[in-house]
Amino acid sequence: LAAAGVGTLGIVDADVVDITNLQRQILHGTSDVGRPKAISARETLMDLNPGCNVIPYIEYLNSENVMDIISEYDIVVNGCDNFPTRYMVNDACVFAGKPIVDGSIFRFEGQVTIYP
């Protein structure tokens, strides 16, 4: 999205980069191990497109902050790795009238669903 010229991206992730992330999370490198994922991702995306505004949220997405965070964006792209959060994001987007692009992978399969 940054390379395509999207003006503002928000990244929500409270986790830190682990060596086991590197083979599947291409925004991070070995020098990022131990750093917050949202910060590492921001730096990589800013290198790709310095004109893109990338806002890192170093926190877990939960019922107390989800509405505040998604209210700042026109569309939500969800790639979380657990069903409770996935359902919460979907519910919040329905409530806020925000379109959502939901993506997930399992082993060698992937799914992307768009809810307008």
CATH number at residue 26: 3.50.50.80
Q: How many domains are there within the chain? A: 2
What tokens were used for 64? 């107390």
Same domain for 4 and 50: yes
H or E element that contains 78: strand 76-78
Average pLDDT over residues 92-102: 96
Residue ending a domain, choose from 29, 59, 89: 59
Q: Is the pLDDT of residue 105 over 90?
A: no
For residue 55, being part of any structural domain is answered with yes
If you average pLDDT over every residue of the chain, what do you get? 94
| pLDDT tens string 4-44 | 999 999 999 999 999 999 998 999 999 999 999 999 999 99
Same domain for 96 and 55: no
For residue 68, being part of any structural domain is answered with no
Q: Is the pLDDT of residue 116 over 90?
A: no
Same domain for 42 and 5: yes
In this prediction, residue 111 has a pLDDT band, given cuts at 50, 70 and 90, of: confident
Same domain for 5 and 55: yes
Q: What percent of the chain has pLDDT over 90?
A: 81
Instruction: Give the residue numbers spanning the domain of 109.
Output: 74-116
The pLDDT value given to residue 55: 98
The pLDDT value given to residue 41: 97
Same domain for 90 and 44: no
For residue 67, being part of any structural domain is answered with no
